[in-house]
Amino acid sequence: MPDHDSTALLSRQTKRRRVDIGVKRTVGTASAFFAKARATFFSTMNPQGSEQDVEYSVVQHADGEKSNVLRKLLKRANSYEDAMMPFPGATIISQLLKNNMNKNGGTEPSFQASGLSSTGSEVHQEDICSNSSRDSPPECLSPFGRPTMSQFDMDRLCDEHLRAKRARVENIIRGMSHSPSVALRGNENEREMAPQSVSPRESYRENKRKQKLPQQQQQSFQQLVSARKEQKREERRQLKQQLEDMQKQLRQLQEKFYQIYDSTDSENDEDGNLSEDSMRSEILDARAQDSVGRSDNEMCELDPGQFIDRARALIREQEMAENKPKREGNNKERDHGPNSLQPEGKHLAETLKQELNTAMSQVVDTVVKVFSAKPSRQLPQVFPPLQIPQARFAVNGENHNFHTANQRLQCFGDVIIPNPLDTFGNVQMPSSTDQTEALPLVVRKNSSDQSASGPPTGGHHQPLHQSPLSTTGFTTSTFRHPFPLPLMAYPFQSPLGAPSGSFSGKDRTSPESLDLTRETTSLRTKMSSHHLGHHPCSPVHAPSTAEGLSLSLIKSECGDLQDMSEISPYSGSAMQEGLSPNHLKKAKLMFFYTRYPSSNMLKTYFSDVKFNRCITSQLIKWFSNFREFYYIQMEKYARQAINDGVTSTEELSITRDCELYRALNMHYNKANDFEQVPERFLEVAQITLREFFNAIIAGKDVDPSWKKAIYKVICKLDSEVPEIFKSPNCLQELLHE
């Protein structure tokens, strides 16, 4: 036995000493990482804007000349949108809120009151009708008022009111015609129209007359009318909001698109001395003029389909341009000046792609939902200006490019797309809502929230039909597990006895074996890879074989009350309740990039998993195990090198064909089907190896906590995990490329 191998034994014999001191991943490590990434992204998107500015709205940094440029660029959009532009300080959300409040606090209450009283409110109603021309100008001036729409609204509402009023008057006259004084009253009625002043007697009569009216009839009639109007108004308001939001999203996309377009342009032809802003302004100006100069059919904005196509083409170009330098330079060069744009650019491109997909799919989904829910609504009559965008979206709703877009929603990571639709409870986003909610950590940066708030989904929409075997994560299976799936987070590990009855797998040939873990896990791996390959989107079939086994092996301590409370009978979201072998595979691949992922990071990257305490610790445990293996290998090879007579760290290098690397790759990338093991990993491994080597050479290994210093070094060497790992389907994309 070589001398250095004895230390392990020694350390086992001696009292265990803690070496995790100082290695602890403070929250800052991870959060700083994310903050950096965010900052990187945002600074790319908006060089002079603050992070917050961009975070909430891409549109709203339209201050100064930029806003003018943007306005020009987007003035093809509907006019009322422009009215919202001059408020750079306000976010979209707040604008919408204000808008809503304005409407609610402004005209609405008076309308609502109309059905309640027959006297005062009637006067009020009349005021509104007759004064509509007086009222509308301030509303036109109001930045939130959307003058065009308000004018339309008011006109139409006045129409309705006038009709109602006429009917009411007719009703009154009809009612009075039965009274003996009908002629006199009629004359008085005519005289009232005259501009002469109304005498107290007449006003008294009018009052009296009103009181004489059959109140019930009038009230019910009024209530009916006003209720229907209320309803219509509400629907109109909702639709208006939806349309606004969609247009806003589109505008955001356009803006980002032009930024990218712009940056690629300037990368190509500017020499760097020009002011970027002036360049941008000119380009945007020219572009705006260009688009304005086009035919009206080229219209208000790019057709969404074209828009996406052009964006994709640009992104492809950009990626191709980036790929060459990216070969030799790794992300390590992020810190160095000239190359610093490349990883950011890639990041940007990735994010933009995802954003485009998601935002467009949201828009399409919303419109489709609106139209399918209210197929008979005659929207065009109500909102002529908005008819065109809607029709275009509806057409593009057939675009198959968007089918997978929702699946990518979770890839957003640290990019927060304000979803104005979520601001209004009455508008529910289809399917994507759940996924958005499933990403609370993106929004809530307070790490303490994660445990307290636990289920960010608020305990609803927990899918019971998702199996850990399902790697697509977004199947639409109608199958429901008979047992709560959180308990399957620890499948096969608890020898609670033989599977009960029908759940005993047929191919379980050795039930006496208590160590089911490896066997079944590998079995599940095979199964899921089979699913992966052939039925990527098919629902998980019957809980047979290994999966069925897992149902019977319940880890009771995971089913504590808190976790159980998260279980909801509702299905429909795409969150998995357990970690699948593919998650393990993904985690191993992620280890090539990060050795010390924070739990928040894990939640971000395993966004298709519904996290609870068990899941989190399991994932953390995985990485702990990975590290353990990693460090063991390092120590082993360091000692081996020392025994082999290596005296200088210079002789220690790690290449892709060295033994150590092969061992590591075999562990984390068993099938070797991930061909993009980053160069950075080799560097980190080499650093680690040399650290171990030096420490052993220096005799530090006599100290039981000698590894602590090494851990401290290595934990700082994590690199950014590619965005693609955030995708629940990243394995397909990574391994089949």
Partner DNA sequence: GTGCTTCCTG
Partner DNA sequence: CAGGAAGCAC
Binding residues vs DNA (CB under 7 A): 8, 11-12, 16-26, 451, 490, 493-494, 517-518, 521, 555, 579, 584, 587-588, 596, 598-599, 613, 616-618, 620-628, 631, 667, 707, 711, 715
Quote the least distance from Cβ 464 to DNA, whole Å: 21
**CB closer to DNA, 16 vs 506:** 16
Q: Which is nearer to DNA, 290 or 557 (CB)?
A: 557
Question: Are 471 and 730 in contact, with CB atoms under 8 Å apart?
Answer: no
3-state SS, residue 511: coil
Between 613 and 680, name the residue whose CB sits nearer to DNA: 613
Measured from the CB atom, the residue of 275 and 448 that comes closer to DNA is 448
Q: Is residue 609 classed as helix, strand or coil in its secondary structure?
A: strand
Name the minimum Å distance from CB 498 to DNA: 18
> Which ranges constitute the DSSP H helices of 177-303?
182-193, 200-212, 215-269, 276-293
Q: Of 144 and 711, which has the nearer Cβ to DNA?
A: 711
d(CA 328, CA 606): 30
The shares of helix, strand and coil residues in the chain, as percent rounded to the nearest 5, are 65, 0, 35
HSE of 386, CA atoms in CB hemisphere, 13 A? 25
Q: Distance between CA atoms of 383 and 222, rounded to whole angstroms?
A: 26
| Phi, psi for 609 (deg, rounded to 5) | -105, 135
d(CA 201, CA 552): 89
Shortest separation between residue 20's beta carbon and DNA, angstroms: 4
| Closest CB 697 distance from DNA, rounded Å | 18
Residue 247, burial from CB neighbour count under 10 angstroms (0-12, 13-18, 19+): buried
CB nearer to DNA: pick between 41 and 692: 692
Query: Closer to DNA at the Cβ: 85 or 487?
Result: 487
We find the least distance from the C-beta atom of residue 491 to DNA, in angstroms, to be: 9
Compare residues 628 and 737 and give the one whose CB is closer to DNA. 628
Alpha carbons 495 and 492: distance in angstroms, whole number: 7
Cα torsion at 177, 181, 182, 184 (round to 10°)?
A: -170
CB 50 to DNA: min, Å: 27
Residue 25 or residue 165: which is nearer to DNA going by CB?
Answer: 25
Alpha-helical regions (H) of 571-645? 581-591, 599-605, 613-643
Tokens at 138, concatenated:
């301030």
Cα separation, 248 vs 252, in Å, equals 6
Among 486, 483, 482, residue whose Cα is nearest residue 576: 486
Closest residue by Cα to residue 559 from 605, 516, 613, 511:
613
Smallest separation (angstroms) from DNA to the CB of 711: 5
Q: How far is the CB of 467 from DNA (least distance, A)?
A: 16
d(CA 74, CA 82): 8
Judged by beta carbon, residue 55 or residue 608, the one nearer DNA is 608
Q: How far is the CB of 524 from DNA (least distance, A)?
A: 11
Give the nearest distance from C-beta 665 to DNA in angstroms: 13
